[in-house]
Structure 1
Amino acid sequence: MLSVTDGDDYRVVALDRPAKRNALTRQGLDDLAAAVSDAPQPVVYVHGAGEAFCAGADLDTVRGLDGDSGAAFARRGQRTMNAIADADSVVVAGIDGPARGGGVELALACDVRVCTPAASFAETGVKLGLFGAWGGTRRLRQAVGATHAADLSLSGRTVDAAEAKEMGLVSRVVDDPRQVADEVAVNDPDALRELQSLLGADGDREETDDLEAGAFGRLLEQS
């Protein structure tokens, strides 16, 4: 399900189920959370093997769910996405090919999202009578705003790389997303961790100013 390669500067986590477009099972969700959370490096690069980034939840798994087990599966996905969002490492998503449903949610949980011109994105759950329940409704709204989030979620339409960048779903469209992981990984690891925490903060101005000042002081003490 996963292929994990440790380098000196960053860990590479590949969703390695190309025949299923890297769809995530229960075990896949657990393995993904562990692979990102346990990384000793300050940067983790997540991508998909084959022609897709991630098709989302494995449909064979979803078809066997009832109300209770469905809620449990949603919670499992939420734990995984929260583990990625809360990881000590900076997590870079390199999206090449389709990202669908939970694959979009996976990308949204990462700190940096970049894609190739071949990437495409769709919240397809509504077409199946479902929706993205791995924290995607909240993260999508935070990333692209309420108007775009409603459009994508309620229509289920597919957007290409250019439109994804325009609305803020990704920051860059590049030929080789791994180069962005290289750019991040050459920076000071302590500064990366402090910045990552600050960029994810959701407090008022006074609270954020205090956090920034404290982090800046800690970095100077360590230099």
Structure 2
Amino acid sequence: MAFVTLEQKGPVGVITMNRPEALNALNDQVLQDLDQVLDQVEENEEILVAVVTGAGRSFVAGADIGQMSTLTAVEAKKFGILGNRIFLKLENLSKPTIAAVNGFALGGGCELSMACDIRIASEKAKFGQPEVGLGITPGFGGTQRLPRIVGAANAMELILTAKTINAAQAKEMGLVSHVYAPEELMDKALELANAIAANAQVAVRQSKAAIRRGLQTDMATGTAYESEAFGLCFATEDQKDAMKAFVNKEKITSFKNR
């Protein structure tokens, strides 16, 4: 899998988009490699949190324009379906995901970051959905995730103007949570990932699922799912151990994740 690599650092899996000579642009092979790596992350019980980043000076500069330029309407729809399927797999991964955006996150790159649960960025990061300037719409979820994250008006402006924004503007808009110096980005991503990994993982995963499902439904349905998740946690050893420690004025130092 030359174009996407997976490195395990303790409980954290670091997924690196690794096509730096093309600014990590997404073509069929990159997407297929990412698909396989996501399966590996899901199946590896030692990986509790995943960090997605890019090799070189780009996170992902977009989908591969060279490949897309010759597509027919039917082929383009299939390419969009492929990208959306894989990005939905990333979004619905049972384990929390953090996008550590180190550089260009344009088009498909911005869409990749938005499929992650949390986004942090380098001061050098650039975000945008430039597709309308190329005569197309966003194709890997940009029209759907961006308004959910930054609001409809901000999403309309970014998509319809095809403009690029910097990391500070992305933070102000709510597209990213934190902005760091380039040399600090991965350390901060791993620090955040390890803070998540230190908690009770059944509760972490149920919380992620409740948030994700709630964003797609009405309040009554969402809170009904939350009640199910809340109740399920009371069947875990971690809940018993942590609450017993709390009642005894003790601090739990580790979880069994069951």
Same fold (TM over 0.5): yes
Q: Is the 8 A contact 1:120 1:158 kept in 2?
A: yes
1:65 is the counterpart of 2:79: no
Aligned counterpart for 1:209 among listed residues 210, 223, 230: 223
1:45 is the counterpart of 2:59: no
Supply the distance in 2 between the matched residues of 1:37 and 1:83 (Cα, whole angstroms).
9
State the SS of the aligned residue for 1:221.
Answer: coil
Q: Is the 8 A contact 1:52 1:96 kept in 2?
A: yes
Bigger radius of gyration among the two: 2
Structure 1 residue runs without a partner (length 5+): none
Supply the distance in 2 between the matched residues of 1:51 and 1:59 (Cα, whole angstroms).
18
Identity of aligned residues (%): 33
Cα deviation for residue 183 of structure 1 reads: 2.4
1:128 corresponds in structure 2 to 134
1:166-191 residue CA offsets vs partner (Å, 9 max, x unmatched): 11111111332423223222222111
Supply the distance in 1 between the matched residues of 2:171 and 2:196 (Cα, whole angstroms).
19
2:32 corresponds in structure 1 to 30
Cα deviation for residue 86 of structure 1 reads: 1.1
Q: Is the 8 A contact 1:42 1:192 kept in 2?
A: no
TM-score (norm 2): 0.83
1:188 corresponds in structure 2 to 200
1:12 is the counterpart of 2:18: no
* Structure with the larger RCO, 1 or 2 (CA within 8 Å, 6+ apart): 1
Instruction: Single out whichever of 24-33 and 182-191 deviates more from structure 2.
Output: 182-191
1:220 is the counterpart of 2:234: yes
State the SS of the aligned residue for 1:208.
Answer: helix
Cα deviation for residue 31 of structure 1 reads: 1.4
Cα deviation for residue 88 of structure 1 reads: 1.3
1:145-164 residue CA offsets vs partner (Å, 9 max, x unmatched): 11000000011111111110
Cα deviation for residue 117 of structure 1 reads: 1.2
Q: Is the 8 A contact 1:37 1:84 kept in 2?
A: no
Cα deviation for residue 20 of structure 1 reads: 0.6
Instruction: Single out whichever of 196-205 and 104-113 deviates more from structure 2.
Output: 196-205
Cα deviation for residue 35 of structure 1 reads: 1.1
